[in-house]
Amino acid sequence: MGDSYEPCHENVLVYDRLPDPVKAEVDTALEEGAYETTSFLVEDELRYERVAGRSVDALRKDGTYYEARVESSTSWAGLGRTRTLSFEETAFTSDTPAELLVRNVTTDLWTGVIAIDDPADERLLEERLTIESYPREETPDHYTEADRDRIVQLPVTNEYGRYEATFDPDNGEPERVDVWFTMGYPPRRNRYAITDNGPEYDETLYGAIGRPGHPSTPCSWDDEGNLI
C-alpha cells in the first residue's frame, strides 16, 4: 500500500472499504479512545485525514456513525507535529428520504411488487405497482412534468447504507439488486429500469429528477491509494 491516498468525495466513509493502514488507525482510536502519531515527513502523517479529505462528515462501522476529531500539536523540540485522532458517535440522517427511481423500458405494462429491505433484513417498503411502458428511445433531452410522471419515485430511507431491492413481477420470478443510498445534500437517488432481462441500473435517467449523476457507492481504494 502506498503512502498517498486520494481523498473520498462522498459524505460518509464505510469502514469495511478503508485501506488496511487506515483501518488500523480507526481501530486504535475506537478501542483506546484515541490514535496518536508524530510525523516528521508528510508521508508519516495521519492517513485517516488523507482519505477523508474535506467532504467526509462521518465514518460508518457496524451500523454506527462516528464523527472524527483531529487535534494537532507541535512535538517535542519543535521537530515535527503530533496528530491525535478520536471519534464520537453521531447520527447521520437527512430530513429528506432518499428515493428509488424506477421506470419500465419494456414494451408491456409491468405489474408486480417492489420491496426494499435494510441490512438487518427489516422490510422498509413494499408496494404493489402498475408501471406503464417508457422505452429508453423516448428519453428526452430535457424532462417535462409529463416525463417525470412516468417514473416511479419510492421514498425509502433517511439513513445512508446498502439496501436490497426486490422486483417481483406477477408473470415472472423475483429478482434482487443491491441499492446504495448516499445521504448528501440533497440525498442521492438510485435509478433502475425494468427490462426484459430484469432490473438494471438506468443510465438514461441522468437528470430526470434531482441533480444528474451516477448512483453513489462508498469510496474504495486500490493498492496504490487510488479511488476505484
Judge if 157 and 73 occupy the same domain: no
50 neighbors 7 (Cβ within 8 angstroms): yes
Q: Hey, what's the torsion of the CAs at 178, 206, 138, 194, to 10 degrees?
A: 0
Mean pLDDT for the stretch of residues 20-49: 87
Residue holding cell 433517511?
A: 158
Q: Which pLDDT score, from 0 to 100, does residue 181 have?
A: 73
User: Does 213 map to a domain?
Assistant: no
* Summary mean pLDDT of the chain: 84
The range of the structural domain enclosing residue 85 comes to 12-90
Q: Which pLDDT score, from 0 to 100, does residue 207 have?
A: 57
User: Does 136 map to a domain?
Assistant: yes
**Per-residue pLDDT for 131 more than 90?**
yes
User: Does 69 map to a domain?
Assistant: yes
Residue 213 or 203, more confident: 203
Judge if 114 and 198 occupy the same domain: yes
pLDDT band at 99 (very low <50, low <70, confident <90, very high): confident
Residue 195 or 181, more confident: 195
CATH number, position 163: 2.60.40.10
**Per-residue pLDDT for 173 more than 80?**
yes
User: Does 228 map to a domain?
Assistant: no
User: Does 123 map to a domain?
Assistant: yes
d(C-alpha 129, C-alpha 1), whole Å: 48
Judge if 61 and 103 occupy the same domain: no
- Kindly state the helix (H) or strand (E) to which residue 179 belongs, with its residue range: strand 175-181
pLDDT band at 1 (very low <50, low <70, confident <90, very high): very low
Judge if 79 and 102 occupy the same domain: no
Judge if 200 and 109 occupy the same domain: yes
Q: Which pLDDT score, from 0 to 100, does residue 44 have?
A: 58
User: Does 225 map to a domain?
Assistant: no
**Per-residue pLDDT for 74 more than 60?**
yes
User: Does 5 map to a domain?
Assistant: no
Judge if 78 and 104 occupy the same domain: no
Judge if 131 and 49 occupy the same domain: no
Residue holding cell 430530513?
A: 95
Total domains, the chain:
2
Summarised one tens digit per residue, pLDDT across range 3-24 is 689 999 888 898 999 999 999 9
